[in-house]
């Protein structure tokens, strides 16, 4: 693993997982966009969380309430000191979403398997097709109060947009950014207006990844984000459509690049693009000097 990432300890490679997946203090969890992928085959010993039922409040649009999060951890056999390794499809989109929530609730040791599900399969590693049954923890899991310094809410985003106090990073595809399409190709439209938050920089999430699904090197990432005016010292807010792609970029900026003050605006375009009176900019991305 690259030692030049700001926090290399949050990444493990597939070989590490193959060697440690069944260690007593390690819990491997698969979190996919396609929630049926786990059943097709998964890392031996891994359990699965469904992002759309287990990692969000299913009544109010929100992340998991604290008590529900604690229950999920306990039922998953995860203690406060467990090393949790998350991985999934789409280069770890929802694995990053899960890690973001775990960090909000103060879990100390949560990591991402670099390359995710795709790399594991491409390497021809063992897949298990029978679901793993987790033994619930003997000791109930205790979360901290939510750390909302990792999350941006609408009022903060509106204030930052007006005052230019943070760099806004739109990580959706260029066509979503420009307003040409309202949702990713083939998926239902979930907003009334297309375009982006005025002043936002366009850095599609996938630019942070190599073809094999692993993250680009620290130098490549610094160059990528630096070209868009994103630096370690300036506050940054990442957003996408519903907050999962932006949690991926949040992870990259926070732990690999080392941006201290970066938040994930999970309200994202489904909130901003439906908001009465919110300013919207259309058109393709411009270079930094012409923002």
Partner 1 sequence: MKPEHFSERKVDVDGWQVNLASYKLGDKWHTKADNVSPGAALARIVADTREDAETRALARAKELLSRTKRREV
SS (H, E, C) 55-95: CCECCCCECCCHHHHHHHHHHCCCCCCCEEEEECHHHHHHH
Q: 275: exposed, middle or buried (C-beta count within 10 Å: 0-12, 13-18, 19+)?
A: middle
- Cβ 216 to partner 1, closest distance in Å? 16
141 touches 78 (CB < 8 A): yes
The answer to whether residue 240 is catalytic is yes
107 touches 66 (CB < 8 A): no
51 touches 88 (CB < 8 A): no
Stretch that binds partner 1, among 53-61, 74-82, 136-144, 200-208 (CB under 8 A): 200-208
Q: Is there binding between residue 40 and partner 1 (CB under 8 A)?
A: yes
Stretch that binds partner 1, among 4-12, 21-29, 32-40, 267-275 (CB under 8 A): 32-40
**Number of chain residues interacting with partner 1 (CB under 8 A):** 44
Q: Restricting to residues 87-116, which ones interact with partner 1 according to CB under 8 A?
A: 89-91, 93
Q: Is there binding between residue 182 and partner 1 (CB under 8 A)?
A: yes
Q: Restricting to residues 219-278, which ones interact with partner 1 according to CB under 8 A?
A: 240, 245
Q: Quote helix, strand, coil % in the chain, to nearest 5.
A: 35, 15, 50
Nearer residue to partner 1 within complex by CB, 79 or 243? 243
- Cβ 179 to partner 1, closest distance in Å? 5
Q: 288-291 long-range contacts, Cβ below 8 Å, gap at least 24?
A: 288/201, 288/227, 288/228, 288/229, 291/199, 291/201, 291/229
Nearer residue to partner 1 within complex by CB, 41 or 199? 41
78 touches 84 (CB < 8 A): yes
User: Would you give the binding string for partner 1 spanning residues 111-150, x where CB under 8 A is met?
Assistant: -------x--xx-xxxxxx---------------------
Q: Is there binding between residue 34 and partner 1 (CB under 8 A)?
A: yes
What are the catalytic residues? 240
Q: Which residues contact partner 1 (rule: CB under 8 A)?
A: 33-34, 36-37, 40-41, 89-91, 93, 118, 121-122, 124-129, 172-175, 178-187, 189, 194-195, 204-206, 240, 245, 282-284
């Amino acid at each position: 693993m690259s030692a030049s990432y700001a926090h290399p300890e949050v990444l493990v490679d597939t070989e590490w997982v193959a060697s440690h997946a069944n260690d007593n203090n390690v819990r491997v969890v698969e979190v996919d966009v396609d929630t049926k992928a786990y059943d097709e085959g998964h890392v031996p010993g891994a359990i699965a969380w469904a992002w759309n039922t287990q990692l969000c409040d299913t009544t109010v649009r929100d992340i998991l309430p604290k008590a529900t999060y604690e229950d999920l951890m306990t039922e998953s056999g995860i203690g406060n000191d467990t090393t949790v390794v998350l991985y999934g499809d789409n280069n770890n989109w929802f694995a990053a979403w899960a890690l973001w929530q775990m960090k909000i609730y103060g879990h100390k040791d949560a990591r991402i398997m670099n390359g995710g599900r795709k790399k594991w399969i491409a390497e021809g590693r063992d897949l298990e097709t029978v679901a793993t049954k987790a033994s619930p923890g003997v000791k109930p899991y205790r979360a901290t109060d939510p750390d909302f310094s990792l999350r941006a809410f609408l009022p903060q985003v509106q204030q930052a947009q007006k005052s230019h106090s943070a760099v806004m990073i739109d990580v959706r595809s260029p066509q979503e950014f420009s307003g040409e399409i309202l949702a990713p190709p083939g998926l239902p439209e979930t907003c009334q207006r297309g375009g982006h938050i005025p002043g936002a920089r366009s850095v599609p999430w996938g630019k942070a990844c190599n073809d094999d699904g692993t993250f680009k090197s620290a130098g490549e990432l610094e160059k990528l984000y630096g070209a868009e005016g994103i630096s370690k010292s300036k506050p940054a807010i990442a957003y996408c459509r519903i907050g999962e792609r932006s949690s991926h970029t949040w992870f990259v900026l926070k732990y690999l690049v080392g941006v201290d003050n970066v938040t994930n605006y999970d309200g994202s375009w489904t909130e901003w693009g439906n908001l009465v009176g919110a300013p919207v900019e259309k058109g393709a991305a411009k270079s930094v000097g012409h923002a």
